[in-house]
Amino acid sequence: MASGTWEEFFAAHLPPPDFEDNRSLLKEFCERHDQYGNRIALVTSGGTTVPLEHNTVRFVDNFSAGTRGSASAEYFLEHGYAVIFMHRQKSLEPFTRHFSGQKLLDMLDIQERGPNTTITVKPDSVDVLAPILLRYKAAHSAGAILHVSFTTVSEYFWLLRAACECLTNLGPRAVLYLAAAVSDFYIPKDRVPTHKMQSASGAPVIQLQLVPKMLAPLVNLWVPEAYVVSFKLETDENLLVPKARAALDKYKHKMVVANLLQTRHHRVILVTPDETQEILLTREEVHAGVDIEASIVLELVRLHAEHLAPCGAPPVAP
């Protein structure tokens, strides 16, 4: 089935209630960093949902824990970029991603002495917590990271377009790193029931429609000078590189990071117009908890600097 246009998609979906607040935050953040000539990476992370009911009890979800985006955001900060971290609510976030589940509580000791109860970090956890806490504090006190969140695919697109509008002044200093897992299918608003679907009415027949690809207006209209990196997620190895290359040919952006669902944490393929480069972690590196995102971002930063060189930008952001 053919998708509608991106303009029709925006016309049919109202902006989310907190949209204007987020737009102001994005504007302030981009203007501030633009003033100093900084580079900004917009990192999208986590999966978007498609609600099956307006008062949503059920929804279709896209798979992503937010591992890729949250880790990458940390490495962009390390390389001197300011970061807009646009993420699915309740998915992994930079810095706190290291302490999911009970990890943080397991690092703490408590001495109950009535009103003088004290909580301390266990001595053997200080070495783990301290470097992460220091990086977290440094990023936040420098105002180097902004978090904005989405849940549904329409919230994602409203935020994405607003972020692009704010980033456009940065020209080639903006990197868009589109790691979020974005819905390809949705239910048009007028076919979404208001209330929870009732099982007594029998099995529902749900017809999904194609979501327009936002990469097209993004690359051509919203941020034509930015360094745009999209991701390609497949489950079939045979489709991976051909589809990544087809996306590059079609949208004419700078890079596709291709990954298979099954191996995404230790293998990716960076596809650019000129080359195809595999990044593969060894078994030992995986065991030692090395993030593949460190290598992805390192290579991207190198290519972005090359791209910026003719514009006279310094090799490393201030």
What does the binding site for ligand PMT look like in residue numbers (CB under 6 A)?
64-68, 178-179, 181-182, 184, 211, 213-215, 230-233, 259, 264
Other CB atoms within a 10 A radius of the CB of residue 65 amount to 16
Least distance (Å) between residue 67 CB and ligand PMT: 3
- Give whichever of 253 and 304 is closer to ligand PMT, judged by the CB atom: 253
Least distance (Å) between residue 202 CB and ligand PMT: 31
Report whether 238 contacts 260 (CB < 8 A). Answer: no
Q: How many CA atoms lie within 13 A of 147 on its CB side?
A: 17
Report whether 97 contacts 216 (CB < 8 A). Answer: no
Other CB atoms within a 10 A radius of the CB of residue 105 amount to 9
Least distance (Å) between residue 315 CB and ligand PMT: 27
- Give whichever of 60 and 313 is closer to ligand PMT, judged by the CB atom: 60
Residue 269 CA, chain-centre distance (Å), reads 18
Report whether 42 contacts 68 (CB < 8 A). Answer: no
Least distance (Å) between residue 241 CB and ligand PMT: 13
- Residue 97 makes CB contacts below 8 A (sequence gap 6+) with 66, 67, 70, 71
- Residue 46's identity, in one-letter code, is G
- Give whichever of 49 and 259 is closer to ligand PMT, judged by the CB atom: 259
- Give whichever of 64 and 272 is closer to ligand PMT, judged by the CB atom: 64
d(CA 164, CA 216): 13
Least distance (Å) between residue 193 CB and ligand PMT: 23
Least distance (Å) between residue 232 CB and ligand PMT: 5
d(CA 240, CA 181): 16
- Residue 301 makes CB contacts below 8 A (sequence gap 6+) with 76, 79, 81
- Give whichever of 81 and 156 is closer to ligand PMT, judged by the CB atom: 156
- Give whichever of 22 and 91 is closer to ligand PMT, judged by the CB atom: 91
